[in-house]
Amino acid sequence: MILPPWLQATASGLFCAPAGCHIDPRRPVARAVVSHAHADHARPGCGRYLATPETARLLRLRLGEAIPVQELAWGRTLVLNGVRLSFHPSGHIRGAAQVRLEHAGEVWVVTGDVKTASDPTCLPYEPVRGHGLVLESTFALPIFRWPDPAAVFADLLAWWRKNAEEDRPSLLFAYALGKSQRILASLPPDAGPVFLHGALEAPTAVYREDGVRLSAARRLAATEAPENLRGALILAPPAASESPAMRRLAAAGRAFASGWMQIRGFRRRRALEAGFVLSDHADWPGLFAVIRQSGAERVFLVHGFAEELARTLRAAGLAAEASAAEHEREEDEAPP
Ligand SMILES: [Zn+2]
Ligand SMILES: [Zn+2]
């Protein structure tokens, strides 16, 4: 086992026994340290939560205003029974943190979901030095190499314009928390009318209240007149792709924004007109940058293609191990 004795991979998730807390637990526990507000990291029913202030706001939205959540500001240290704990930006979505744990003369960094590419809606990924790293490996295959986000947004805009010239709506599936707001923050303000599926409204409002500059957009009403949607961009979560409201938009061009769009044939198999390679996770070179910049010599891999990356790291002389926990699909990259 590559993890130190004070950090264990349990059925409930990563457990720091001396601090008495789980990090991103998979089931209800007494004390949860939550890296970010996506559902596969932030479960309901925990006794207490610890999160960054931005994540705390999103947690209250998702899990209820009354949840007992303690906020810890970026870079501030909380000492839990001899364990020093602090949050540092992971660049994944708003509020997303890496958790730095220091105990018994050793530093371990739990990255949570991490992204090294630029994103105007959150603090940029900050390298954190440590002896060991618990790293997500969602897209840990050499085929995953993200294009420059600016080029992706230019393509997206061109696709929308082309549809608008044909008087068709553009229906873009993007995850409701994080991806959608990243898209809204990256569109030019005068690009045209933007509508939001109802599921996007609340998280988008939290981003706006936090002062993130996002394109104007309004909720897509069930009664929206079709002529209002001609030439509009409609953002909707992938899970809503077969809903009656989305089916009504039969004439719309359909596209999906995700790292999975880099896989050949994916777009065609899902009958999508366009695909935009836009991920909130690190690509293959990004994962190596995170490992290198951490200085870690021991890497414990969770999610995704962990075995593949573990083999590559061992071949490069690092100690690396893939988590034996059953893999859960990344909620924030789930296809339509
Ligand atoms: Zn996530
Ligand atoms: Zn995740």
How far apart are the CA of 132 and the centre of ligand 2, in A? 20
Kindly state the average pLDDT of the residues 154-179: 97
77 burial type by CB count under 10 A (0-12 exposed, 13-18 middle, 19+ buried): exposed
Indicate which CATH number applies to the domain containing 223: 3.40.50.10890
Question: Do 80 and 184 reside in the same domain of the chain?
Answer: no
Q: Residue 203 domain-assigned?
A: yes
Is residue 301 helix, strand or coil?
A: strand
Beta bridge partners of 69: 49
pTM of the model: 0.96
Collapsing DSSP states into helix, strand and coil, what is residue 207?
helix
Residue 278 Cα to ligand 1 middle (Å): 14
320 pLDDT tier (thresholds 50, 70, 90): very high
**Residue 1 in domain:** no
Residue 163 Cα to ligand 2 midpoint, Å, equals: 33
Indicate if 225 and 324 belong to the same structural domain: no
In the predicted model, is pLDDT for residue 237 greater than 70? yes
128 alpha carbon – ligand 1 mean position (Å): 19
Looking at the structure, tell me whether residues 180 and 121 fall in a common domain: no
Residue at a domain's end among 261, 276, 291: 276
Looking at the structure, tell me whether residues 138 and 12 fall in a common domain: yes
Let me know if residue 238 belongs to a domain.
Answer: yes
- Choosing from 233, 252, 276, the residue where a domain stops is 276
244-295: per-residue pLDDT in tens?
888 888 899 999 999 999 998 888 888 899 999 999 999 999 999 999 999 9
Contact 136, 209 (CB under 8 A): no
Residue 3 in any domain: the answer is no
| Domain shared by 56 and 108, yes or no | yes
Which ligand minimizes its atom distance to the CA of 138? 2
Burial 278-312 (b: 16+ CB within 10 A, else e): bbbbbbbebbbbbbeebebebbbbbbbbbbbbbeb
Higher pLDDT, 325 or 21: 21
Say if residue 28 is in the same domain as residue 48.
Answer: yes
For the chain, the residue count is 336
47 inside domain:
yes
- Ligand with smallest separation from the Cα of 178: 1
Name 255's bridge partners.
Answer: 172, 274
> The domain containing residue 39 runs over which residues?
8-143+280-333
Domains of the chain: total: 2
pLDDT, residue 223, reads 87
Give the H/E segment covering residue 99: strand 97-103
- Specify if 325 maps to a domain: yes
- Give the pLDDT confidence of 85-132 residue by residue, as tens digits: 999 999 999 999 999 999 999 999 999 999 999 999 999 999 999 999
**Distance of CA 123 from the midpoint of ligand 1 (Å):** 15
Helix axis angle for 179-186 and 149-165, nearest 10°, is 80
Does one domain contain both 250 and 129?
A: no
Q: Are strands 69-71 and 48-51 parallel, antiparallel or unpaired?
A: parallel
Q: How far apart are CA 114 and CA 125, in angstroms?
A: 7
Q: What is the pLDDT of residues 29-47, one digit of tens each?
A: 999 999 999 999 999 999 9
Residue 133 DSSP class: E
Beta bridge partners of 321: 300
Cα dihedral value 298, 303, 304, 310, nearest 10:
20
Question: Residue 290 sits in a domain of what CATH number?
Answer: 3.60.15.10
Residues 29 and 139 grouped into a single domain? yes
Q: What is the pLDDT of residue 329?
A: 65
Q: Tell me, what amino acid is at 163?
A: N
Residue 222's pLDDT is what?
Answer: 86
Pick the last residue of a domain from 259, 276, 293: 276
Q: CA 53, CA 63: separation in Å to the nearest integer?
A: 15
What is the model's pLDDT at position 336?
Answer: 72
Q: Are residues 124 and 173 in the same domain?
A: no
Between the CA of 24 and the centroid of ligand 2 the distance, in Å, is 9
Reading the block at residue 301, the tokens are 């891999």
Query: Does some domain include residue 36?
Result: yes
Same domain for 289 and 256, yes or no, is no
What is the chain's mean pLDDT, rounded? 95
Which ligand has the shortest distance to the CA of 24?
2
Do residue 237 and residue 178 come from a single domain? yes
Does 2 map to a domain? Answer: no
328 and 260 in one domain?
A: no
Q: What percent of the chain is modeled with pLDDT above 90?
A: 87
Quick check: 315 pLDDT over 70?
Answer: yes
Please tell me the distance from the alpha carbon of residue 203 to that of residue 136, in angstroms, as a whole number: 24
